[in-house]
């Protein structure tokens, strides 16, 4: 159906919701490297992973070969509360920029948690419930993942225990209260409730915590409590799989209107939204059916793809999780204060890392003042107040559209708008008051954390 007039928003019907997730690993010639047991450095077995994760999720984690995995009906029913998500043609932004480029964004912020994370939260909570567990534990940094998980757990009647990085717990009380409203138990991390928390508190008195430390606490809490498992909001291949709902819907919408993106852009923290958005398109590229340019955008203050190394590393500070081969800055790397909490992780999804390593994806890093300038421009033209994380993708989409203005090319640019920024008003305040700064780590600083990575051969 080419050349149909393109509406501002393309909404699919509920019965057009994808019934299966797409596992891009099945089409990768070079599979992502396996997770390793941190003690033996041997690939993790299903049995080992099942101590930490629900069995069905551990199976998904290890599955490199099944291209399509059925979405259980109960998850589809939950998805219907806030999906299909619209694919928006950014007519107003195009006009403001005066660009011949056609700009589209897939908007994932239309739910109370305000981000795409709910897509995987409901899947992980569902499999935990189905396994007969009492509850799940997790970490949250800025709070988006904890919020999404508490919504999913409330819906299914599961207990939800969230370790929230202490500085966010104190600085983002509203996120914390949203989680508690949905029934979650929220603990500032490092806490005195776990051995690893006590150890970190003793070693670094007064520390305000980090994501890696909160992960260690959540994993310990799950493995020492009967009937609990740990769940994670990004990085893992299972999370990327669940997030392919974003890309599958996008692809259906594009096909309905004869839209063929030239480039697909997404912000990359642990890689789940970007991986989810691009997977079905990447599948076509891997199978030689179509070509697209894929761009991962990361903060200059936490540049795992653009300045990291591709190696096995710890996923958490306490080194209790499996080792993953990924582009990483080293698990002890602590990014400088930047306001995109969801992009502060030291590593990157092993699937995206392998695709990047093989040249299928390019990456760019951007500085936060330029990111907020793009966010402001977007808010003023398209109306939506974007999350700081999402605004990284907006920055590069605008840059690319401005290049088209110079060259006269009518490229079709698609990006992922992962969420809204209502809980990020302190960051917006800093930007509005011109008090925001850009910090880019030096090579020497990066070397310190990279030198402390595990030696695996
Ligand atoms: C968590 C988050 C991200 C980054 O996570 P990925 O796993 O890289 O997708 C991006 N945007 C928003 C709004 C988030 O909450």
Domain boundaries, the chain: 9-16+83-114+238-451, 21-68+117-236
The CA 273 to ligand 1 mean position distance, Å, reads: 6
Measured CA to CA, the distance from residue 320 to residue 322 in angstroms comes to: 7
Please say whether the beta carbons of 53 and 342 come within 8 A.
no
Task: Read off the DSSP letter of residue 243.
Answer: T
111 DSSP 8-state letter: S
Ligand 1 atom, smallest distance to 108 CA: 13
Give the pLDDT confidence score for residue 212 in this predicted structure: 82
437 vs 431: CA distance, rounded Å:
9
Strands (DSSP E) found in 234-361: 263-267, 293-299, 309-314, 323-328
Q: Among 403, 415, 418, which residue's Cα sits nearest to residue 103? A: 415
| Contact yes or no for 114/423 (Cβ under 8 A) | yes
Alpha-helical segments (H) within 204-243: 211-223, 237-242
Kindly give the distance from the C-alpha atom of residue 414 to the centroid of ligand 1, in angstroms, as a whole number. 17
pLDDT of residue 316: 81
Give residue 449 CA to ligand 1 midpoint distance, Å.
Answer: 23
Provide DSSP, 50-85: HHHS-HHHHHHHH-SS-SEEEPPHHHHHHHTTT-SP
- The neighbouring-strand residues paired with 87 are 10, 106
pLDDT, tens digit only, all 457 positions of the chain: 445 799 999 999 999 999 999 999 999 999 999 999 999 999 999 999 998 899 999 999 999 999 999 999 999 999 999 999 999 999 999 999 999 999 999 999 999 999 999 999 999 999 999 999 999 999 998 899 999 999 999 999 999 999 999 988 988 899 999 999 999 999 999 999 999 999 999 998 988 888 888 999 999 999 999 999 999 999 999 999 999 999 999 999 999 999 999 999 999 999 999 999 999 999 999 999 999 999 999 999 999 999 999 999 998 877 778 999 999 999 888 887 777 778 888 999 999 999 999 999 999 999 999 999 999 999 999 999 999 999 999 999 999 999 999 999 999 999 999 999 999 999 999 999 999 999 999 999 999 999 999 998 7
The structure tokens listed for 198 are 């006590």
Cα(162) to ligand 1 centroid in Å equals 17
Report how far residue 81's alpha carbon sits from residue 200's, in angstroms, rounded to the nearest whole number: 40
Cα separation, 91 vs 108, in Å, equals: 18
138 and 177 in contact (C-beta within 8 Å)? no
Residues with CB under 6 A from ligand 1: 115, 117, 144, 234, 267-274, 342-343, 387, 389-390, 418-419
Ligand 1 atom at minimum distance from 273 CA:
9
Candidate from 105, 106, 117 with most ligand 1 atoms within 8 A of CB, to mutate: 117
Q: Which atom belonging to ligand 1 lies closest to the Cα atom of 390?
A: 11
Q: Give residues with Cβ within 8 angstroms of 405, minimum separation 6.
A: 97, 98, 99, 100, 101
Inter-residue contact 113 to 147 (CB < 8 Å): yes
Q: Name the nearest CA neighbour of 248 among 71, 8, 32.
A: 71
CATH of the domain spanning 9-16+83-114+238-451? 3.40.50.1100
In this structure, are strands 412-417 and 362-366 parallel, antiparallel, or unpaired?
A: unpaired
Q: What span, in angstroms and rounded, lies between the C-alpha atoms of 159 and 157?
A: 7
Does the fold of domain 21-68+117-236 match that of domain 9-16+83-114+238-451? Answer: yes
Q: Taking a C-beta distance cutoff of 8 angstroms, is the pair 173, 166 a contact?
A: no
Residue 69 host element (H or E) = strand 68-70
Cα–Cα distance between 301 and 299 in angstroms, integer? 5
Q: Is 455 exposed, middle or buried (0-12, 13-18, 19+ CB in 10 A)?
A: exposed
Ligand 1 centroid, distance to 6 Cα (angstroms):
28
Q: Out of 3.40.50.1100, 3.40.50.300, 3.90.1150.10, 1.10.3720.10, select the CATH number for domain 21-68+117-236.
A: 3.40.50.1100
Nearest CA to ligand 1 atom 5: 269
């Amino acid at each position: 159906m080419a050349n149909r007039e393109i509406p501002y928003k393309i909404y699919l019907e509920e019965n057009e919701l994808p019934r299966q997730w797409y596992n891009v690993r099945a089409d990768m010639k070079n599979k992502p490297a396996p997770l390793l047991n941190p003690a033996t450095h041997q690939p993790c077995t299903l049995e080992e992973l099942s101590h930490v994760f629900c069995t069905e999720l551990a199976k998904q984690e290890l599955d490199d070969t099944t291209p399509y995995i059925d979405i259980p009906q109960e998850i589809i029913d939950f998805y219907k509360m806030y999906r299909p998500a619209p694919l928006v043609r950014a007519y107003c932004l195009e006009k403001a920029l005066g660009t011949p480029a056609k700009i589209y964004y897939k908007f994932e912020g239309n739910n109370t948690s305000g981000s795409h994370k709910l897509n995987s939260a409901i899947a992980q909570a569902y499999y935990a419930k189905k396994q007969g567990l009492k509850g799940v534990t997790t970490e949250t940094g800025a709070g988006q993942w904890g919020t999404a998980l508490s919504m999913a757990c409330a819906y299914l009647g599961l207990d939800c225990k969230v370790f929230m990085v202490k500085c966010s717990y104190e600085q983002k009380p509203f996120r914390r209260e949203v989680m508690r409203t949905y029934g979650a138990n929220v603990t500032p991390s490092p806490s005195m409730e776990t051995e690893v928390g006590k150890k970190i508190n003793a070693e670094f008195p007064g520390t305000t915590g980090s994501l890696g430390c909160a992960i260690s606490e959540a994993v310990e809490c799950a493995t020492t409590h009967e009937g609990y498992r740990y769940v994670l909001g990004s990085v893992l291949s299972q999370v990327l799989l669940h997030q392919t709902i974003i890309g599958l819907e996008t692809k259906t919408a594009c096909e309905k209107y004869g839209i063929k993106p030239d480039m697909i852009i997404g912000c990359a923290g642990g890689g789940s939204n970007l991986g989810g958005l691009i997977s079905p398109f990447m599948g076509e590229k891997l199978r030689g059916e179509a070509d697209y340019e894929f761009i991962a955008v990361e903060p200059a203050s936490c540049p795992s793809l653009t300045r990291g190394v591709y190696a096995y590393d710890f996923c958490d500070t306490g080194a209790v999780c499996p080792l993953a081969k990924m582009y990483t800055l080293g698990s002890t790397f602590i990014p400088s204060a930047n306001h995109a909490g969801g992009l502060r992780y030291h590593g990157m999804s092993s699937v995206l890392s392998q695709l990047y390593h093989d040249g299928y994806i390019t990456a760019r890093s951007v500085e936060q003042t330029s990111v907020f300038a793009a966010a402001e421009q977007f808010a003023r033209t398209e109306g939506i107040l974007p999350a700081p994380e999402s605004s990284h993708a907006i920055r590069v989409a605008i840059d690319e559209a401005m290049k088209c203005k110079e060259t006269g090319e009518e490229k079709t640019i698609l990006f992922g708008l992962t969420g809204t920024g209502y809980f990020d008003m302190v960051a917006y305040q800093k930007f509005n008051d011109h008090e925001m700064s850009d910090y880019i780590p030096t090579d020497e600083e990066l070397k310190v954390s990279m030198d402390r990575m595990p030696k695996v051969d």
